[in-house]
Structure 1
Amino acid sequence: MRSLISFVLLLLAAVASAISVTGERLLVVLDDVAEKAAYSKFFGDLDGRGYKITYETPKSESLSLFKLGEREYDHIVFLPTKAKGLGPSLTPAILLQFINAEGNILVALSSKNPAPTSIVSTLLELDVHLPPDRSGLVVDHFNYDVSSAAEKHDVVLLPAPGALRSDVKDFFSPDAPNGELLAFPSGLGQTLGSGALLTPILRAPNTAYSYDPKEQAESVDDLFASGKQLSLVTSVQARNSARLTVVGSADMLSDKWFDAKVKKSGDKSSVATLNREFAKRVSAWTFHEIGVLRVNWIEHHLNEEGQSNQSNPKIYRIKNDVTYSISLSEYAWDSWTAFTVPANDVLQLEFSMLSPFHRLPLKPVLSSPDSTTFSASFKLPDQHGIFNFKINHKRPFYTNVEEKNTVSVRHFAHDEWPRSWVISGAWPWITGIGATVVGWLAFVAIWLYSKPVAGGETKKTR
């Protein structure tokens, strides 16, 4: 009996751990609940990872994202709808309120259905721009699937995205040992503003472009965007680390393209698609299953012999030697692991008043299976005042780490100054004082103990 209870508890623990760190309640908004059958594998993967999925239509009277000021759901998935609006429960203001309440949103678009005005307005608030007609089509006459898009060239084939930069971790590239490709069918491209919160996950090939499929002219003069200007999958991470992802092709998430074989123009053989693994990684990032950092503890203390080693004191003295340490963990799928800074990146500590007096790299000094401790030692500046130990680590695809510890830095106390005889620069002055004192004492001694010289008697005359 005891072994059975232990097994059940372990099973429940495993299920509970295999979900997002921000919650398991997932809302899926679609035109008709029956449409979920076309995405059964995508939703099956989410269900297998522990999410409790609720399916609703925009017209549902019971649909509400908040109840008594609290979120009813932790995450939302929007699939394409034929409706121009999403109703009073899904207005742009409510969706932005949901993001401000640390909720996460995955938006899947399609060139077959114009994007709802609520979605368009929400994306505009985040500086993500869709074509003016809200239904532009991305095509590529060089990188397309010859079997399913021989005429329209609207099934764009491209490799896994790879790392954004050399100092950014790659979360979205599945292994492709046999040259597997991503299929992007009937997609709606986006252009991005210059906001620091925007990061493209998947960009279009250089030969791709977006146009209005309703225009039947042989040549397209007015393009929405082309090449690397087009983002096919876009990520937005708010300052509170809430996430919104825009997938330009909802068909990319469908069962049809999870198991499809595609053949690129000019290739001799067909290959499988990477869509299923890519969709898993994109949804996992959006719902805080990967790319999540946690601060376990922070400590700063004196690093001097003969001084008390109190942790996190509120006051230091100028020119003190101090050590600052921070412990970080990274959530990866179902457990907390040790955080490793990418090879060309650095975790920095600022010691600042109005501006940084020190900006120092934090080096890993201790690692365990679930955390890494980073540390730096330095000498406080010769400046008194109110200072901050500050960590401001903001990197693409990682949650933000913002930590600030305020301390006071005082002058030397009257009994902490070094004595004058210790200071070599004071030795000439001390010598001068000594010479003056010795000379004065010698003069006084000579004056007091010297006998006056005897003088001869003189006779006074009138």
Structure 2
Amino acid sequence: MMYLGQSLLCFLCIFTIANAGGRTLVLLDNLGIKETHSIFFKWLQDRDYTLTYKLADDPNLLLSKYGNYSYEHLIIFSPSVEEFGGALTVETITEFIDNGGNVLVTGSSHSGEALRELASECGFELDQESASVIDHLNYDVTDDGYHTKIVADPENLINAPVIVGNRQVAPLLYEGTGLIADRENPLVLRLLTASSLAYSYNPKQPIKDYPHAVGKNTLLIAALQARNNARVVFTGSLYFFSDEAFTSAVEKAQEVAKSITQWVFKENGVIRVSSVNHNRIGEHSPPVAYTIMDDVIYTITVEKLMGDKWVPYEANDLQLEFVRIDPFVRMTMTPSGYGRYEARFKIPDVYGVYQFKVDYNRIGLTHLYSTTQVSVRPLEHTQYERFIPSAYPYYASAFSMMFGVFIFSFVFLHYKDNSKTNDEAFTSAVEKAQEVAKSITQWVFKENGVIRVSSVNHNRIGEHSPPVAYTIMDDVIYTITVEKLMGDKWVPYEANDLQLEFVRIDPFVRMTMTPSGYGRYEARFKIPDVYGVYQFKVDYNRIGLTHLYSTTQVSVRPLEHTQYERFIPSAYPYYASAFSMMFGVFIFSFVFLHYKDNSKTKSE
């Protein structure tokens, strides 16, 4: 069963086939490049590429007409161009890439502003004007003495045969400028790097500043595969594709150049999804909705473009994710031959909307992305287990309790006490019931369990009446008398858990009062050193007794100025220090004013 996502992917892959051997626009600095690079261009024509040669500043340049692109590929062999001609600009080239077009660009040590801007758009940076890659150890015998015609080691090629082919080839000739790319950019590929001894600088000038590109940070060839699978290859050497580099007696660049060209024009490294199926194990078609805990089989068939045919793609690292916002299942699929991959798993016990998702991204291959949305519903009420094995202990507990109640009821109903007759047992039970009923009736009608406050007093210790206001840090005595109703009389209530609180919003003092006989309770304490409005509060609540609640509001003022200590004991050291200083000044002044030097006369 094919879905919209797979249909779109298949369409893109079919469009890719059309790209292979398609119409190609070749932009040149001058028509002489057709002769110096004839081997490369003839090789393209032999592979059914239709080449259209134009100068880079041709005023009639067009990539598209009436919204349709006239070319599938673009080759720019014009390093020195400062501005493209006609309707061609860096912006139109980036739009061409965004729409799936492929671009091969070569620069040189004299690259123009247009190429620098295009490189920047693709994530690369060309070295400064007139800079060349220099290697004083690895250079060709035909070099002019500046060591700019370097010999690149094939070991510095990227380890991706689908892009560069076999790395066991002759050394590669390179003459041109260096590139720099951001290592953090996941879309950029470093196809060929310089040796660790190379650097990029103007060979005709002394080195005054640290070179822009040094060692393996110097890129000779770089590539970009965009998220829409469009491909761009950028090299700083037009010479790399020349007949001279292809036919050198020792060094060879032809095989690598052809492999890179086949990759950038999507003859290599193109894969697609040809079919996707999913169903419950034992069935043959996908259901309208899955049920939680279903056993599912998912199969996907992947093909690879080989020449002009699609052949099965074989790998062992293709993964499937079963996703609801986050992956609930992630597993490596099992290859079953002929490009078919299979995954079997149990759907999680969480219902919702899920996706079967395959997201396969490998260096040199087009991005493979396939999603299929499915619904997962909960169990119907008829699908739940009648008895859950994990609940067996609870079932046993319930039945054992039922059995126990049955046995208890049987014994209770048929048990006979031979020590007493039925009449005696009945009489005893009635008497006990009457006693309980009487006690409850007395309590509910307040014959029992009633207490009250009969008097409250508070004053400073040593005084006999409450003041208008207390002062902070006063010593206070508080007394309360509690009585209990006994028949028709009030008698003293005796307890040892009556508490007093001295409250200003929150309690500042909480203490258990001391019984002093005849229902009288007493508490002595020092008033806190915080002035304000306080309450003496007794809140006594016990089961069976009426609620005892008594509050008395009092004011607490700060000390008057006459009540503060004249001399604070803790300040005695400071007083002594002050008086000793005054005494010292007095002695010094006396000596200074009355001192006389008798060793000399006034005239002397």
Q: Verify same fold: TM over 0.5.
A: yes
1:171 is paired with a residue of what secondary structure?
A: helix
1:235 is paired with a residue of what secondary structure?
A: strand
Give 1:441 deviation, angstroms.
12
Give 1:247 deviation, angstroms.
1.8
Counterpart in the other structure of 1:275:
253
Assess, with a 3 A threshold, how the Cα gap between structure 1 residues 84 and 226 changes in structure 2: closer, same or farther: same
Give 1:397 deviation, angstroms.
1.2
Give 1:149 deviation, angstroms.
1.1
Q: Deviations for 1:238-277, whole angstroms, at most 9, x for unmatched residues? A: 100000001221111111111112xxxxxxxxx2x33111
Assess, with a 3 A threshold, how the Cα gap between structure 1 residues 164 and 58 changes in structure 2: closer, same or farther: closer
After superposition, where does 1:181-260 map in structure 2 within 5 Å? 181-185=171-175, 187-193=176-182, 194-213=184-203, 215-217=204-206, 219-260=207-248
User: Structure 2 CA distance, aligned partners of 1:81 and 1:424?
Assistant: 76
Assess, with a 3 A threshold, how the Cα gap between structure 1 residues 321 and 62 changes in structure 2: closer, same or farther: same
Identity of aligned residues (%): 29
User: Structure 1 CA distance, aligned partners of 2:319 and 2:235?
Assistant: 33
User: Structure 2 CA distance, aligned partners of 1:388 and 1:163?
Assistant: 39
1:188 is paired with a residue of what secondary structure?
A: coil
- For these two proteins, the number of residue pairs brought into alignment is 401
Specify which of 402, 407, 427 is matched with residue 369 of structure 2.
402
Counterpart in the other structure of 1:267:
none
After superposition, where does 1:19-34 map in structure 2 within 5 Å? 21-23=18-20, 24-34=22-32
Larger deviation, residues 242-251 vs 23-32: 23-32
User: Structure 2 CA distance, aligned partners of 1:48 and 1:162?
Assistant: 30
Counterpart in the other structure of 1:92:
90
Q: What letter matches 2:171 in structure 1?
A: L
2:61 is paired with a residue of what secondary structure?
A: coil
After superposition, where does 1:43-62 map in structure 2 within 5 Å? 43-62=41-60
Q: What letter matches 2:377 in structure 1?
A: R
User: Structure 2 CA distance, aligned partners of 1:162 and 1:300?
Assistant: 44
**Structural RMSD (CA):** 2.8
User: Structure 2 CA distance, aligned partners of 1:173 and 1:402?
Assistant: 25
Counterpart in the other structure of 1:132:
128
Counterpart in the other structure of 2:312:
338
Assess, with a 3 A threshold, how the Cα gap between structure 1 residues 31 and 216 changes in structure 2: closer, same or farther: same
1:377 is paired with a residue of what secondary structure?
A: strand
Give 1:67 deviation, angstroms.
1.1
Counterpart in the other structure of 1:10:
none
User: Structure 1 CA distance, aligned partners of 2:219 and 2:32?
Assistant: 30
After superposition, where does 1:280-299 map in structure 2 within 5 Å? 280-299=258-277
- The answer on whether the counterparts of 2:79 and 2:106 sit within 8 Å (CA) in structure 1 is no
- The answer on whether the counterparts of 1:302 and 1:320 sit within 8 Å (CA) in structure 2 is yes
User: Structure 1 CA distance, aligned partners of 2:136 and 2:214?
Assistant: 12
- TM-score, L = length of structure 2: 0.62
Assess, with a 3 A threshold, how the Cα gap between structure 1 residues 314 and 208 changes in structure 2: closer, same or farther: farther
Give 1:433 deviation, angstroms.
4.0
Q: Deviations for 1:362-409, whole angstroms, at most 9, x for unmatched residues? A: 121122xxxx11111111111111111111112221100111111111
Give 1:294 deviation, angstroms.
1.1
Q: What letter matches 1:319 in structure 2?
A: M
- TM-score, L = length of structure 1: 0.80
Assess, with a 3 A threshold, how the Cα gap between structure 1 residues 341 and 248 changes in structure 2: closer, same or farther: farther
Q: Deviations for 1:30-64, whole angstroms, at most 9, x for unmatched residues? A: 12334311111000110011101111112323321
Kindly name which structure, 1 or 2, has the bigger radius of gyration based on alpha carbons.
Answer: 2
User: Structure 1 CA distance, aligned partners of 2:156 and 2:101?
Assistant: 27
Provide structure 2 residue ranges, at least 5 long, that are not aligned to the other structure: 1-13, 414-421, 423-604
Provide structure 1 residue ranges, at least 5 long, that are not aligned to the other structure: 1-16, 262-270, 448-454, 456-462
Q: What letter matches 1:216 in structure 2?
A: Q
Q: Deviations for 1:433-456, whole angstroms, at most 9, x for unmatched residues? A: 487389769979x99xxxxxxx9x
User: Structure 2 CA distance, aligned partners of 1:222 and 1:88?
Assistant: 40
- The answer on whether the counterparts of 1:313 and 1:407 sit within 8 Å (CA) in structure 2 is no
- The answer on whether the counterparts of 1:363 and 1:376 sit within 8 Å (CA) in structure 2 is yes
Counterpart in the other structure of 2:567:
none
1:210 is paired with a residue of what secondary structure?
A: strand
Counterpart in the other structure of 1:121:
117
Counterpart in the other structure of 2:347:
380
